[in-house]
Structure 1
């Protein structure tokens, strides 16, 4: 039967709509949030490499008349077979494409031309998600925020004269820095590359302004009106320099002291320093900034300095000294630019290409012209090395934070001021780290790390883009106050002044609304531009920070009427770093949306405007640490950015075109891998298979698991969500759970931010997450023979091998615990002297009896789970096809183990407002405080944690969440444009009415809340109020007013005829008595779950969104009885990774000394630490049940003796009986013997127990 194209939309898509509290319309959609990365790398591929090849082309030999090598074109070929993104992930390879360059060699002697396509290495490719895969791990190249090349003028107060004196710095992209400074004696001097000072007039003479008169004429205007004659005074400081020749020789002497100067060399030096394109490059950006700052119009292709540039810099220094011009703010974003991926990779490539150029030149001088070919000259090693060095070792190429989709997205939008050419943590001051007014709409003022990197690492604001020069731009709406008289947009606008016709007669009076007829009249007007009442157009302009400073800009929430004209006479606006109240006529631009100020993570915090900045910062950062949960829930109170964040993280699958779902597949490909997908047949006849990721491990060990939301036969529309990911629900970001919260103290269990959780959270897997670990083992060739992966392991019982297959590899689905064998492996042991018996065995059984040791892959200590995948790779050989493995590796086995971790005491939970805490107890749900309808709360937070932290957003979220939960809606409250107090109180009153009227069934059949609005309407009407008005969203305050009156009437207080002011007073009075809380307060009398008694005071109860963070107790908790010891000191190692012990340090020793606990102390310092013989004997005694013997000498004492001996001190150790003992010569043989006996008598829990380091 053919599928009907009109099949209904899947029921799973029918979700509760969001109720928006936003007041402002959406003017501009959120741009593609990873466009920064994708566009930049594409620009590198298309233009960057081309520029580099043009830069070094042609390469000539040292004489310049034998050989010439040209790079004339290049192409990226398809990635090699078996090198898809997924395969590179699985097999720890790099996702790359081969780069081929067309090279032409001209042999000048014969005129012969040789052309070849040369392989220039495998270049890492960017995936569609904006990441790189190197050695199987996803990495991100973070954009760098640096000072832009160009000229900077600063002025500092001179302590002697009290005057502000100007300094300037000319910073090129590549080449010598030029610094200018003014002394308090009015001399302007310059330094080239930080060397000795040179008077500025000397430099001017050297570049061609030879005569005094010529120099004075250049600055005649500035000097005439100046109190201080800078140029004349500077000339007096160089009495012996009169012309160009003197100046050139003087500069040469100062830059190269000790060398014999010649005019030719001096000219060459100046030319090379500033006017030679190969050695000095301002860059496109530098030239653009220089032109803009100095007001010159040099062609942007001119990358070197010009004479005019130097003259203009000096002119500006004089103007700033005279107070006629302003100095620059180096922290202004107009002076800082972003180097994105493409540019960073290109810079690294340039290093490789320059090394390549040297190699080619050297080879040209060695190889004869007959045998020469392009491939013989070109060595690509420098390029390959430069690329590898960048992706593997650069500070800006980072292991991607993949904890959840938001963490990925934020990492790709990160800006770092550190890295090559940037700042270092130690040297960066407060000014660089601080929020600057130019960050508005460009860099988020909130999201930055806490700690030493604060302010050095930031995040791009939501709507910001990076322009071709690397400056961050933000969008604005244009405010229009004049329109062309022929423009159709005139209709509906209001004329702001009388408009005469050609004869001067009034054609249209001021304040007339333009109709089509009036517009027709205006075409005959004398003035081509018609002045209208200012209105905000939908035209969007993007502005860099330095441009924006020239405009007066209104905020996005400035009130507008239906014609987009300003309602108020004075508008709140800003100009650069000032805030103004201006009439509408002066406003030139308007913000697009309030959320353009903040980054994506910050924009996910509802009621952000009610939170203290420090807590908002923590909230934004902690959302990136949230672990994807087994049953994700989108927040009840959202901001609208959830859908955007999920969409741009590229983890949610959307339908490209409308069509029908024809298949939900789980096919096995030719390599034995199961491929999951959704097949959609589009209306235009094409078919597409949307692949899904199932239980894929991320860099942080969390799990990506895409779940289809559609069924076979469903009709889908373009842009519809087809599949969710681990941390999304119906295409919205879902990092946590909506839980019923009470803010109250409970038995002291939530002291100091601790959290009390209900056992329901554990039972219903609400905070359960999946974590995947990968373990791998290689079977290599060793000097003693090849290692072997086998089930036949010496001295291991059948019980330990029960889950292994015949090859010794664990089966998929096996439950494993610490120390279980995953892959059996044996390694040949070193040959020892054979006994007669062994020789006989060897003679009878041949090589089989040869000694091997067990080097199997086992589950590390502290890990457990279920094996979900196993991959075996075998070396290719001539007989059977296999895999490409590194040299010396015969087999490679990978095992993935998944853990299902329930929430437990010690886990860290956090909300979106920086409200974080550790779970102190998981109480039985029946013991938790319960609501009047019998529902126990899910989580109890400490109310003391709110006032001092000033993150009131969590309380507002709780209130609105409560109303949303009871009334069955999902709230949408964008940052700076969300629900106000009145809207929340209205919602709370409606929720109270719904509860009182019995319209809410809190838990029908274990499902979510059921709400019947009609029952609530009828109840309100029965009480003599207008039910329809109460539930009308447009009537602000009506629900609040009616709700409070009904509440008072429920308490037998007549309230129907009270005026508003009287009503407020009565409500406050009743509330002050402390027994009853009005519905607008969001407080309820709770009952103790253990006694059933009500608590004394009403408690704030509601619904809050909580996330489980990746700081899980299971990764941190650790215990040890015996284990590995340090080789020299013989003390236990430290740290969970080394399976170490707890350090009993200096201060702890003092504590035991203070208590006089001598025997405890002696045990700690000997048999529990580094008394090798004593601890082995103590262990034996414990096993046998004997008394523990007296401790011996600690190993550290023997080390001390040896160290003193090494200083030439002969040391005698005497015991209590005054007999000599020699601890340093006491060997470890006895201890080793004891330990081997112990192992035979009872195998300890940990196989590599004592002295595993020594073995």
Structure 2
């Protein structure tokens, strides 16, 4: 795949196989091609219906059996069988597939996959775009040897999942395909509104879904099993994976996709995963997106999010972490997993069972005990007090320390699984390990400010703010926007695919269909314009039908107070209006059917032909209809101008120009542009320019702020420099580097800078004194010499240089044997230190 590769130093070195590719027995990559057949044997079964090239004559009589360009009929087959030689036919693309490697492919003329074909699989055009010897040429069909299998054959699976990939810059497509692998499975999966048709295959090949092994009938469905009765076989039970942890700590949870009594075929998907819906890959959510600069909140690619998405759990995900503890056999004796932990209150062990292991379902937070464990300390000379305690309490008071497994700093969740491994049952435990306990803790994470999100076109950003729904911009019909993206993120990045996705997504949502637009062979701009026009027509008809319904209700002298909303009165009116026009009254409860039915009759009432605008259900969808699309756009623009009060008659050729003039005069955007008038959520006033609003699939990526945010006051220090450690894993501090020092120097913050470089860093004596002073509420003392300066002095001394420091008052600080070492005061705490100073007289003050 030329697109999917890492961004870092390994760019181009690590690759992925392209779609359909395989590795042959010699280790070379091969890809399939469809064979173009130019000659057929005279007695071939597939000769019927083929057109011949040149006249075919009888070798004995010389009579012409089939004329040039004529199609072979069943009668001619018997005569042709006597010809005795191969018959040249008009080149057609056969079902035969040959796998060729790169060097073998160079020898053949290969046609593009989306070259148009007739129903007989013959080429429509006389000149075809082909590849030959790594060059691109136009050739006659007679010269072509093979044809590509599919347009997306050149790219890998991830890149083939990006709609309108051909409109995206390669760098952004690379980011988009890589980021799809980082998408987090969400609680409510949703199939993309605009997809490429690869979603089913990607989900099937991922191994995340369960596929029926044989035909059968579903006899029972539970949360964890599906039972299928197969012919001539006992009932087969499929086990579902429930709340299992993936390597990325996300949750793998399968749910049934069938119901009891359903008849299934072999190969059908019977259970969905946490990242699929109806057997198709569903990683993100379809949200209403506006490209708008909003109060600086989306500066530098930041994303503004509606609070509604948080409330509805649209971007909520489940994460499972595992924590392990081992009980080893040490030199001082075996470690013990127990509930009896020294110096721990009853509250800390309330959720532990009698063995010291936490119960499933317990809510745990930072530093909570998951598994109680004690380790023997080294036996030393016992003091009289300890001997007394040992005599009173017996062996129980022996010297053990608490080495329990605790929740790490900043983590929380609910215990969902506990596994205990012992030496007796698991002989493959590491040497010296008697017992191992693994605890799984799950947590639900809602989307929050700081989380990373992305579209499929490399348009990534960090959530800067979760905005209340009432403050979000809204459309003329009151629909609030879900997500605001920065329009400056589009032109410079050259990923225009996201704009096309937004437009087609909007049309698909309003018309109630799902758009499938394959890579390199997808929807054209004119087709998207036509779909936007259809969406506007349906919306306009739906809006006017509500107004007509209220008018009809008054005529019927119906009690208006008993009606709840527009939808209820519209349903009553539609049954009356459409019921007598051949529509099915029962189906009028289906929103999409009702909307399209209303639009068809509304168009008919306005003098337009709805059959020229809306496709019939039984019509093949993949056919392109440019004339129908043009008619739809013209109809939409005419009705739009009428709605604005411009009823001037214009010819078909001048409709677009007239609509552009109206747009300039009125300021309202044409429906086919995909832009809409948006109103400010705070003031209710419309923005001065139309805004691109549509539906886009947005992914939540695995870079979550909860995993990265970190805070520390005191903690571990480096052994050599005595400076705080860095990083969240070490419970370290934030790095205060050279440039940060310059910032404080430039600002003149001398005392803050001195603190940063001494008591907050590696002045060991100073930080102990400072901590003590803060606790006691006393003024903080002057800092002393940092430990890292002492390390530098030691290095200089190793070079034979005697270094001394002279203070402000002229007092000398020596480093080495003469150095005055001061130790931090030792606090007298605990039972054992009680009697040390008893009876001694205090000296000094």
TM-score by length of 1: 0.60
Is 817-826 or 731-740 further displaced after alignment? 817-826
Q: Secondary structure at the match of 1:1048?
A: helix
Match of residue 676 from structure 2: 1084
Match of residue 520 from structure 1: 78
Measured after TM superposition, the shift of residue 954 of structure 1 is 0.7
Partner of residue 835 from structure 1, selected from 358, 369, 383 = 383
**d(CA) in 2 for partners of 1:533 and 1:711?**
51
Question: Against the structure 1 CA distance between its residues 506 and 1235, is the aligned structure 2 distance closer, same or farther, given a 3 Å change threshold?
Answer: farther
**d(CA) in 1 for partners of 2:822 and 2:240?**
60
Measured after TM superposition, the shift of residue 1235 of structure 1 is 11
Q: Is the 8 A contact 1:966 1:1009 kept in 2?
A: no
Q: Number of aligned residue pairs: give it.
A: 779
Match of residue 638 from structure 2: 1045
Partner of residue 141 from structure 2, selected from 577, 584, 587 = 584
Deviations 1:250-271 (A, max 9, x none): xxxxxxxxxxxxxxxxxxxxxx
Q: How do residues 555-570 of structure 1 correspond to structure 2 at under 5 angstroms?
A: 555-570=112-127
Match of residue 954 from structure 1: 498
1:1069 aligns with 2:675: no
Partner of residue 752 from structure 2, selected from 1142, 1160, 1172 = 1160
Q: Is the 8 A contact 1:655 1:716 kept in 2?
A: yes
Measured after TM superposition, the shift of residue 1009 of structure 1 is 7.0
**d(CA) in 2 for partners of 1:1235 and 1:625?**
53
Measured after TM superposition, the shift of residue 905 of structure 1 is 0.8
Measured after TM superposition, the shift of residue 1008 of structure 1 is 11
Match of residue 579 from structure 2: none
Q: How do residues 43-192 of structure 1 correspond to structure 2 at under 5 angstroms?
A: none
**d(CA) in 2 for partners of 1:715 and 1:584?**
46
TM-score by length of 2: 0.89
1:990 aligns with 2:534: yes
1:476 aligns with 2:69: no
Measured after TM superposition, the shift of residue 865 of structure 1 is 0.9
Q: Secondary structure at the match of 1:1152?
A: helix
Question: Against the structure 1 CA distance between its residues 1197 and 1236, is the aligned structure 2 distance closer, same or farther, given a 3 Å change threshold?
Answer: farther
Measured after TM superposition, the shift of residue 772 of structure 1 is 0.9
Measured after TM superposition, the shift of residue 1125 of structure 1 is 0.6
Q: How do residues 863-874 of structure 1 correspond to structure 2 at under 5 angstroms?
A: 863-874=411-422
Match of residue 710 from structure 1: 258
Match of residue 355 from structure 2: 807
Match of residue 688 from structure 2: 1096
**d(CA) in 1 for partners of 2:186 and 2:427?**
36
Partner of residue 185 from structure 2, selected from 610, 619, 628 = 628
1:1233 aligns with 2:790: no
Match of residue 1013 from structure 1: 596
Deviations 1:1183-1206 (A, max 9, x none): 222221221221122223333333
**d(CA) in 1 for partners of 2:390 and 2:320?**
45
Q: How do residues 746-1145 of structure 1 correspond to structure 2 at under 5 angstroms?
A: 746-876=294-424, 885-998=429-542, 1012-1032=595-615, 1034=625, 1035-1054=628-647, 1057-1073=649-665, 1075-1145=667-737
**d(CA) in 1 for partners of 2:420 and 2:68?**
84
1:1175 aligns with 2:758: no
Measured after TM superposition, the shift of residue 845 of structure 1 is 3.3
**d(CA) in 2 for partners of 1:1169 and 1:1028?**
78
Q: Secondary structure at the match of 2:390?
A: helix
**d(CA) in 1 for partners of 2:567 and 2:286?**
18
Measured after TM superposition, the shift of residue 1028 of structure 1 is 2.5
Q: Is the 8 A contact 1:965 1:1009 kept in 2?
A: no
**d(CA) in 1 for partners of 2:15 and 2:829?**
57
Q: Is the 8 A contact 1:633 1:729 kept in 2?
A: yes
**d(CA) in 2 for partners of 1:1041 and 1:648?**
44
**d(CA) in 2 for partners of 1:521 and 1:1142?**
90
Q: Is the 8 A contact 1:1177 1:1234 kept in 2?
A: no
Question: Against the structure 1 CA distance between its residues 1151 and 745, is the aligned structure 2 distance closer, same or farther, given a 3 Å change threshold?
Answer: closer
Question: Against the structure 1 CA distance between its residues 622 and 1235, is the aligned structure 2 distance closer, same or farther, given a 3 Å change threshold?
Answer: farther
Deviations 1:121-161 (A, max 9, x none): xxxxxxxxxxxxxxxxxxxxxxxxxxxxxxxxxxxxxxxxx
Q: Secondary structure at the match of 1:1012?
A: helix
Question: Against the structure 1 CA distance between its residues 588 and 1200, is the aligned structure 2 distance closer, same or farther, given a 3 Å change threshold?
Answer: closer
Q: Secondary structure at the match of 1:997?
A: helix
**d(CA) in 2 for partners of 1:1227 and 1:996?**
89
Q: Is the 8 A contact 2:634 2:656 kept in 1?
A: no
Q: Secondary structure at the match of 2:434?
A: strand
Measured after TM superposition, the shift of residue 1073 of structure 1 is 3.6
**d(CA) in 1 for partners of 2:154 and 2:752?**
61
Measured after TM superposition, the shift of residue 1036 of structure 1 is 3.1
**d(CA) in 2 for partners of 1:530 and 1:1220?**
109
Q: Is the 8 A contact 1:1074 1:1097 kept in 2?
A: no
Measured after TM superposition, the shift of residue 1222 of structure 1 is 4.1
Match of residue 550 from structure 2: none
**d(CA) in 1 for partners of 2:192 and 2:591?**
16
Measured after TM superposition, the shift of residue 1232 of structure 1 is 6.0
Structure 1: gaps (5+ residues): 1-443, 667-675, 1241-1255
Q: CA RMSD in A?
A: 2.3
Match of residue 393 from structure 1: none
1:511 aligns with 2:69: yes
Match of residue 659 from structure 1: 216
Q: Is the 8 A contact 1:1167 1:1191 kept in 2?
A: yes
Q: Secondary structure at the match of 1:1039?
A: helix
Question: Against the structure 1 CA distance between its residues 546 and 811, is the aligned structure 2 distance closer, same or farther, given a 3 Å change threshold?
Answer: same
Q: Is the 8 A contact 1:1173 1:1228 kept in 2?
A: no
Question: Against the structure 1 CA distance between its residues 517 and 936, is the aligned structure 2 distance closer, same or farther, given a 3 Å change threshold?
Answer: same
**d(CA) in 2 for partners of 1:1026 and 1:835?**
104
Is 842-851 or 601-610 further displaced after alignment? 842-851
Q: Is the 8 A contact 2:503 2:694 kept in 1?
A: yes
Measured after TM superposition, the shift of residue 1229 of structure 1 is 6.5
Deviations 1:1021-1069 (A, max 9, x none): 11111122211375333222211111111112225x4223210111122
Q: Is the 8 A contact 1:808 1:823 kept in 2?
A: yes
Question: Against the structure 1 CA distance between its residues 803 and 1008, is the aligned structure 2 distance closer, same or farther, given a 3 Å change threshold?
Answer: farther
Question: Against the structure 1 CA distance between its residues 664 and 1096, is the aligned structure 2 distance closer, same or farther, given a 3 Å change threshold?
Answer: same
Q: Secondary structure at the match of 1:895?
A: strand
Measured after TM superposition, the shift of residue 849 of structure 1 is 1.8
Q: Is the 8 A contact 1:1087 1:1094 kept in 2?
A: yes
1:726 aligns with 2:283: no
Measured after TM superposition, the shift of residue 552 of structure 1 is 0.9
Q: Secondary structure at the match of 2:361?
A: coil
Q: Secondary structure at the match of 1:690?
A: strand
Question: Against the structure 1 CA distance between its residues 1224 and 1004, is the aligned structure 2 distance closer, same or farther, given a 3 Å change threshold?
Answer: farther
**d(CA) in 1 for partners of 2:115 and 2:804?**
89
Question: Against the structure 1 CA distance between its residues 1021 and 1227, is the aligned structure 2 distance closer, same or farther, given a 3 Å change threshold?
Answer: farther
Match of residue 467 from structure 1: 24
**d(CA) in 2 for partners of 1:1216 and 1:1235?**
36
Q: Secondary structure at the match of 1:1233?
A: coil
Match of residue 105 from structure 1: none
Partner of residue 548 from structure 1, selected from 87, 95, 105 = 105
Deviations 1:17-47 (A, max 9, x none): xxxxxxxxxxxxxxxxxxxxxxxxxxxxxxx
Measured after TM superposition, the shift of residue 683 of structure 1 is 3.2
**d(CA) in 2 for partners of 1:1158 and 1:781?**
54
**d(CA) in 1 for partners of 2:95 and 2:719?**
73
